[in-house]
A and B are shown apart, each in its own frame.
Chain A
Amino acid sequence: AAGVIQSPRHLIKEKRETATLKCYPIPRHDTVYWYQQGPGQDPQFLISFYEKMQSDKGSIPDRFSAQQFSDYHSELNMSSLELGDSALYFCASSSTGVHQETQYFGPGTRLLVL
């Protein structure tokens, strides 16, 4: 079965640079979520989109923005990167109306800010 695809899998950036993370949800899933997991931490919710509209917002810094496109893929844009942004970034997708509405996670993008 198709899974959530994230690219790139690894990314190294310098402080103050920008980064763009991409996410391709499972086909026919209408909701996309972004999470940030720092080293040794649990995942923290950043933002979500339902049918290309922002549906919920968590602890996403103002330096970050995200959107979902007409083909349902999503991008997380990160600017003015800081050392503390080094983390594993997950995208997850789910299908509204399916009883469990389980969020299936992609493999993650490991971002290292130097």
Chain B
Amino acid sequence: AQKITQTQPGMFVQEKEAVTLDCTYDTSDPSYGLFWYKQPSSGEMIFLIYQGSYDQQNATEGRYSLNFQKARKSANLVISASQLGDSAMYFCAMREGNSGYALNFGKGTSLLVTP
């Protein structure tokens, strides 16, 4: 069964607008971590933001914030003030357990920022 679901294969957003990328997850482990990565067309996998299952507050990193709704098992990425350079594939991933475990990735959302 898919542990990470990203329901938006592709999205458009205009420059300077905010955009939300959806991610829902499935786990019975009380301890887990949620990550968002950005993959530009060049191929590298860039870490953006992390949310731990016990974190009380939503994570923020510059223009990125994570809307964490634990009861709904969702961890949506919000990008504020979109820039052309934000055009990329975005992956949501989950690590179950306390440490040293592999990441399960969603299928990704392709974001295109238009002028």
Contacts and interface: CB of A to CB of B under 8 A. Distances in A.
A52 to B, nearest CB: 13
Contacts of A92: 45
Interface stretch (A16-24, A61-69, A73-81, A103-111): A103-111
Interface in B1-52: 33, 35, 37, 43-47, 50, 52
Interface residues on chain A, size class: 20 to 34
Nearest to B103: A103
B45 A45 contact: no
Interface string A7-38: 00000000000000000000000010101000
Contact of B43 (A33, A42, A88): A88
B99 A56 contact: no
B44 A42 contact: no
Contact of B102 (A48, A99, A102): A48
Contacts of A110: 43
A86 to B, nearest CB: 14
Contacts of B105: 42-44
B115 interface: no
Nearest to A90: B45
B68 interface: no
A97 B99 contact: yes
Given A88-B43, A107-B43, A107-B44, A100 B50 contact: yes
Contacts of A45: 102-104
Contacts of B102: 33, 45, 48, 56, 58
18 contacts: A33-B103, A43-B45, A45-B104, A56-B101, A58-B102, A97-B99, A100-B33, A101-B33, A101-B99, A102-B35, A102-B50, A103-B103, A104-B47, A105-B37, A105-B47, A107-B44, A108-B43, A110-B43
Given A90-B45, A101-B95, A105-B44, 11 more contacts: A42-B105, A42-B106, A42-B108, A44-B105, A100-B33, A103-B95, A104-B47, A105-B37, A105-B46, A107-B44, A110-B43
